[in-house]
């Protein structure tokens, strides 16, 4: 049989790995060196050359999307379709196994998967039933505790809380939670893996069956496996299974979620005779991008060490753009994407990567303004996010009591004791009287149509909205938004949840304040109040929907979800101290290396052209930040960077000083500011101008504020008013 096509398009080392005799091996190699390609060809080789049955192959990928792609690629190379092979994520495979053996796993046949939100709700109930204060014992923290224990393979009985009363309490919650799940036939994500592991542990016959079956195990992105995943693979392989793992210690970015990069070296000791194959040629990126990434990651200690090179051209240097602020940054990025599209490139070849989800909003708006389709990969668009919709619903109700959708959404969010039964009565009354929910609720209260407690809860909600309207009437729009988020209790509600997700939600809420502050209605909205224009804008953006999978669209995603992917044109946005690396990593020190690896992952997604940008001033999470460029930029040698200077005018908030400044490009003195002059700033209050530098849009002034001391500000953005 001619099998040359299995080795075509592979280099010497890749061929070695693909055609190695059946044995365990580690393919350790840097980004873009063809690890995933090798894995696919190895599967094809096992099938076609080694004549192994598809039945004997189990392959693990990091995402479902990657699993689908891998199956597609195997079929392409081998020309046949096989559903007898198992290809999937760890969770997907464990689920498949538990479905097939639910009885041995002690699960009901109809067991259901508990997603993270359901898990949270259940834990909340349990904490409440224990009579604990959920501020001290937040459900989110219980969730992290339980998931982390499960990821380590630990049941409550395996944990020794010793004399630690806190730990004892968490443990009791874990215990009760587990009993509740078992009674209801519910399985959370971490449980899938733990249960699948125990299934084999407790059923040697079954384990032997699968050991006989899956003689070939292949795992991609091995550097991000956790303890239970490792144990699962180890157990399945036994003494005779052949395991091929591929990975890159420099791309380990999930340490914060329990991944253990040491699993790479553990593999070599645990699997007798496992060979290491290194791939050093990179096929993805140009020389400049690759060398810059290599130099950056060289700043990390304790690396396994790799030497990546490319035969390809140096290509263009990395574009480095120092933006004045986040709007300028977004405009720059979108401008470059337009250039790319104008030259015949497709939008889906462009990716914008950022550290945190909240950063997407400004980018989304800039893309919408230019009518460029975009997709948020593995995420939800800003105005469609749960917390944003909650907040907008309060604003909508304040503006319009008859907004039923908004009413439904927040009448009991945060929880205020308005149950489903009460709501059903309100809905029925509204139906009967053909009125809105608000009016029906009012009617029921007046007519005493609700039980005492329900009635006062509903009344409380109606008064809250009226009170919000009162309190907002004299406030600037962004202050109204801020006030509603706080006074409605939304912020506290999310704050009490704790954990990564809750933090992101609070950041998004704060970002909504920024959105309101920089919102400018367009001409079509002249007749609307500013708030109505803002609400319409948000609704339209949310209603736009994601570009579908087949539409040509710019790809937006966090750096974490970009792992394994590649794009001709890549932007790394917001590369600033405090944002990337994020402040917590800076404060805690030991997480800086992981941030640097994340930067390495980001840079190495780029094939032809990479832009890195940072903003001197950024409104994010509702606050102003003045940040230095990230240390990661400094760690890239100058020779690979091309600093881009733009002379374009940036749009400014409508401060009188800023406007005058821009209209005539006047010099510092002509802006109305002079040394020694007293000015006022919306946030810092009154102060004296003591210094200035630069000219044009870049001019800055130093103001000595009475309250907060000296600060340098960009004149165009500072909203300074002479007093």
Residues near Mg ion (CB under 5 A) are 35-36, 564
Residue (223 or 429) nearer to Mg ion, CB: 223
Count CB atoms within 10 A of the CB of residue 579: 21
Residue 159: φ, ψ to 5°: -95, 130
Mask of contacts with ligand ATP, 515-554, x by CB under 6 A? ----------------------------------------
Is 696 within 8 Å of 641 (Cβ atoms)?
A: no
Rounded to whole angstroms, the Cα distance separating 514 from 362 reads: 10
Minimum Å gap between C-beta 571 and ligand ATP is 17
Neighbours of 136 (CB within 10 A): 10
Smallest gap from Cβ 250 to Mg ion, in A, equals 13
Say if residue 456 carries a ligand binding annotation.
Answer: no
Candidates 13, 14, 66, 143; binder of ligand ATP (CB under 6 A) is 14
**Nearest to ligand ATP of 29, 658 (CB atom):** 29
Q: How many whole angstroms separate alpha carbon 113 and alpha carbon 192?
A: 9
Catalytic residue among 140, 260, 605, 631: 605
221: which residues sit within 8 A by CB, 6+ positions away?
A: 61, 62, 246, 247, 251, 563, 564
Estimate the crossing angle of helix 360-369 against helix 530-543, to 10 degrees. 90
CB atoms inside a 10 Å sphere around CB 79 = 10
Q: Which two tokens stand for residue 245?
A: 């793992």
CB 249 to Mg ion: min, Å: 14
34 is an annotated ligand-binding site residue: yes
- Catalytic one of 35, 149, 150, 195: 35
Nearer to ligand ATP, 283 or 626 (CB): 283
In the complex, minimum distance from the CB of residue 250 to ligand ATP, in angstroms, rounded to a whole number: 9
711 is catalytic: no
| Residue 32 binding ligand ATP, by CB under 6 A | yes
Near ligand ATP by CB under 6 A: residue from 13, 35, 505, 681: 35
- Say whether 455 counts as a known binding-site residue: no
Q: Does the footprint of ligand ATP cover residue 284 (CB under 6 A)?
A: yes
Catalytic residue among 151, 188, 220, 482: 220
CA 263, distance to chain mean position in Å, is 25
Least distance to ligand ATP from the beta carbon of 254, Å?
A: 14
| Residue whose C-alpha is closest to residue 160's, from 144, 149, 151 | 149
Q: How far is the CB of 566 from Mg ion (least distance, A)?
A: 9
* 501 catalytically annotated: no
Q: Is 238 annotated as a binding residue?
A: no
Nearer to ligand ATP, 156 or 602 (CB): 602
Is residue 283 close enough to count as binding ligand ATP by CB under 6 A? yes
Residue 309 binds ligand ATP, judged by CB under 6 A: no
C-beta atoms surrounding 376 within 10 Å: 23
Evaluated on CA atoms 250, 60, 78, 22, the torsion sign reads positive
Closest CA to 529 of 405, 655, 399: 399
Q: How far is the CB of 245 from ligand ATP (least distance, A)?
A: 13
Identify whether the C-beta of residue 632 lies closer than 8 Å to the C-beta of residue 690. no
Q: Measuring CA to CA, which residue among 64, 153, 58 is closest to residue 97?
A: 58
In the list Mg ion, ligand ATP, none, the entry touching 596 (Cβ below 5 to 8 angstroms by class) is none
How are beta strands 186-188 and 112-114 bridged, if at all? parallel
**582 pairs with which residues across the strands?**
578, 579
d(CA 697, CA 650): 8
Whichever of 35 and 216 has its CB closer to ligand ATP, that residue is 35
* Residue number of the CB atom closest to ligand ATP: 34
Which of 221, 224, 364, 387 is catalytic? The answer is: 221
112 — phi, psi (to 5°)? Answer: -115, 155
693 is an active site residue: no
The tokens describing 62, both together, are: 């990091």
Q: Is 378 annotated as a binding residue?
A: no
Q: How far is the CB of 298 from ligand ATP (least distance, A)?
A: 17
Task: Kindly state the smallest distance separating residue 402's Cβ from Mg ion, in Å.
Answer: 53
What is the total count of residues that contact ligand ATP (CB under 6 A)? 18
283 binds, among ligand ATP, Mg ion, none (CB under 5 to 8 A by kind): ligand ATP
* Residue 557 in contact with ligand ATP, rule: CB under 6 A: no
Q: Which is nearer to ligand ATP, 35 or 385 (CB)?
A: 35
248 lies in the site for ligand ATP, by CB under 6 A: yes
Active site residue: 141, 169, 251, 422, which one?
A: 251
14 binds, among ligand ATP, Mg ion, none (CB under 5 to 8 A by kind): ligand ATP
Query: Is 220 an active-site residue?
Result: yes
Tell me how far apart the alpha carbons of residues 370 and 364 are, in angstroms, rounded to a whole number.
10
Stretch that binds ligand ATP, among 6-14, 324-332, 397-405, 643-651 (CB under 6 A): 6-14
Residue 333 binds which entry of ligand ATP, Mg ion, none, CB below 5-8 Å type-dependent: none
* CA 521 to each of CA 12, 137, 525, 533, 537: distance values in angstroms, whole numbers, following the listed order: 60, 44, 6, 6, 8
Q: The tokens 């309100």 sit on which residue?
A: 426
The answer to whether 609 is a known ligand-binding residue is: no
- Does residue 31 have a known ligand-binding role? yes
CA distances from 718 to 645, 663, 695 (A): 21, 16, 15
Judge whether 35 counts as a catalytic residue: yes
Q: Is 29 annotated as a binding residue?
A: yes
Q: Quick one: what does residue 9 bind among Mg ion, ligand ATP, none, with the CB cut-off 5 to 8 Å set by partner type?
A: ligand ATP
How do strand 685-693 and strand 554-558 relate by DSSP bridges? unpaired
Q: Residue 245 or 334: which CB sits closer to Mg ion?
A: 245
Nearer to ligand ATP, 31 or 701 (CB): 31
Residue 615 near which of Mg ion, ligand ATP, none (CB within 5-8 Å, type-dependent): none
Active-site residue flag, 505: no
Closest to ligand ATP by CB, 9 vs 682, is 9
Beta carbons of 329 and 580 less than 8 angstroms apart: no
Q: Among 77, 72, 75, 71, which residue's Cα sits nearest to residue 59?
A: 71
Report the relative pairing of strands 242-247 and 25-29 from DSSP bridges.
Answer: parallel
Rounded CA-CA distance 37/634 in Å is 33
- What does the alpha-carbon distance between residue 291 and residue 287 come to, in Å, rounded to a whole number? 6
Question: CB 29 → ligand ATP: shortest distance, Å?
Answer: 6
Residue 572 — φ and ψ, nearest 5°? -105, 115
Q: How many CB atoms lie within 10 A of CB 322?
A: 18
Contact set with ligand ATP (CB under 6 A): 9-11, 14, 29, 31-37, 248, 251, 283-284, 564, 566
What residues are annotated to the active site?
A: 35-36, 220-221, 251, 605
Question: Which residues define the annotated binding site for ATP?
Answer: 29-36
Question: Which residues define the annotated binding site?
Answer: 29-36
């Amino acid at each position: 049989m001619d099998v040359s096509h299995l080795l075509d398009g592979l280099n010497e080392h890749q061929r070695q790995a693909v055609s190695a005799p059946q044995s365990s091996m580690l393919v350790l190699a840097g980004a873009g060196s063809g690890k995933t390609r090798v894995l696919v060809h190895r599967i094809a080789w096992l099938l076609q050359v080694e004549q192994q049955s598809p039945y004997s192959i189990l392959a693990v990928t990091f995402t479902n999307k990657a699993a689908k792609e891998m199956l597609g690629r195997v079929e392409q190379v081998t020309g046949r379709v096989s559903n007898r092979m198992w290809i999937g994520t760890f969770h997907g495979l464990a689920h498949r196994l538990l479905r097939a053996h639910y009885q041995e796993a002690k699960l009901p046949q109809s067991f259901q998967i508990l997603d993270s939100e359901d898990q949270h709700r259940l834990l909340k109930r349990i904490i409440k039933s224990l009579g604990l204060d959920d501020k001290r014992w937040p459900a989110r923290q219980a969730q992290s505790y339980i998931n982390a224990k499960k990821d380590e393979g630990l049941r409550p009985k395996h944990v020794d809380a010793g004399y630690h009363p806190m730990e004892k309490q968490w443990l009791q919650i874990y215990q009760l939670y587990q009993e509740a799940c078992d009674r209801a036939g519910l399985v959370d994500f971490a449980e899938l893996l733990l249960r699948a592991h125990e299934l084999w542990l407790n059923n040697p016959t079954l384990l032997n069956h699968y050991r006989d079956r899956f003689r070939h195990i292949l795992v991609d992105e091995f550097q991000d496996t956790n303890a239970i995943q490792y144990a699962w693979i180890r157990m399945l392989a036994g003494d005779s299974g052949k395991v091929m793992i591929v990975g890159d210690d420099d791309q380990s970015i999930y340490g914060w979620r329990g991944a253990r990069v040491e699993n790479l070296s553990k593999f070599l000791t645990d699997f007798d005779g496992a060979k290491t194959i290194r791939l050093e040629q990179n096929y993805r990126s140009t020389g400049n991008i690759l060398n810059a990434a290599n130099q950056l990651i060289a700043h990390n200690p304790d690396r396994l060490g790799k030497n990546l090179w490319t035969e390809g051209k140096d290509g263009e240097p990395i574009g480095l753009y120092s933006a004045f602020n986040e709007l300028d940054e977004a405009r720059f990025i979108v401008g470059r994407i337009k250039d790319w599209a104008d030259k015949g490139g497709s939008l889906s070849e462009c990716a914008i990567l950022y550290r945190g989800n909240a950063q997407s909003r400004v980018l989304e708006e800039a893309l919408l303004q230019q009518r460029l389709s975009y997709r948020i990969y593995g995420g939800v668009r800003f105005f469609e996010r749960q917390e944003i919709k909650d907040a907008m619903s309060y604003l909508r109700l304040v503006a319009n009591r008859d907004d039923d959708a908004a009413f439904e959404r927040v009448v009991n969010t945060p929880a205020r004791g308005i149950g489903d039964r009460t709501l059903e009565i309100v809905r029925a009354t509204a139906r009967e009287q053909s009125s809105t929910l608000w009016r029906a609720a009012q009617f029921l209260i007046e007519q005493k149509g609700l039980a005492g407690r329900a009635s006062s809860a509903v009344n409380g909600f109606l008064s809250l909205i009226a009170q919000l309207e009162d309190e907002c009437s004299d406030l600037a729009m962004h202050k109204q938004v801020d006030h509603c988020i706080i006074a409605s209790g939304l912020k506290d509600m999310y704050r009490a949840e704790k954990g990564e997700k809750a933090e992101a939600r609070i950041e998004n809420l704060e970002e909504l304040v920024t959105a309101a502050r920089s919102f400018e209605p367009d001409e079509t909205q002249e007749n609307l109040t500013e708030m109505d224009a803002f609400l319409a804008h948000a609704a339209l953006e949310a209603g736009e929907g994601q570009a579908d999978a087949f539409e040509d669209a710019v790809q937006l995603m966090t750096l974490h979800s970009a792992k394994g992917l590649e794009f001709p044109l890549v932007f790394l946005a917001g590369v600033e101290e405090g944002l990337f690396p994020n402040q917590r990593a800076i404060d805690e020190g030991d997480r800086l290396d992981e941030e640097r690896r994340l930067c390495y992952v980001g840079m190495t997604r780029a094939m032809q052209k990479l832009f890195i940008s940072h903003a001197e001033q950024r409104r994010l999470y509702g606050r102003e930040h003045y940040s230095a460029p990230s240390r990661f930029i400094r760690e890239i040698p100058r020779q690979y960077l091309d600093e881009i200077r733009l002379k374009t005018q940036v749009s400014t908030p409508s401060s009188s000083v800023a406007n005058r400044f821009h209209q005539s490009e006047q010099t510092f003195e002509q802006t109305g500011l002079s040394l020694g002059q007293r000015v006022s700033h919306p946030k810092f209050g009154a102060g004296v101008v003591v210094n200035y530098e630069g000219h044009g849009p870049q001019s800055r002034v130093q103001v000595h504020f009475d309250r907060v001391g000296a600060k340098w500000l960009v004149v165009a953005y500072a909203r300074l008013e002479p007093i």
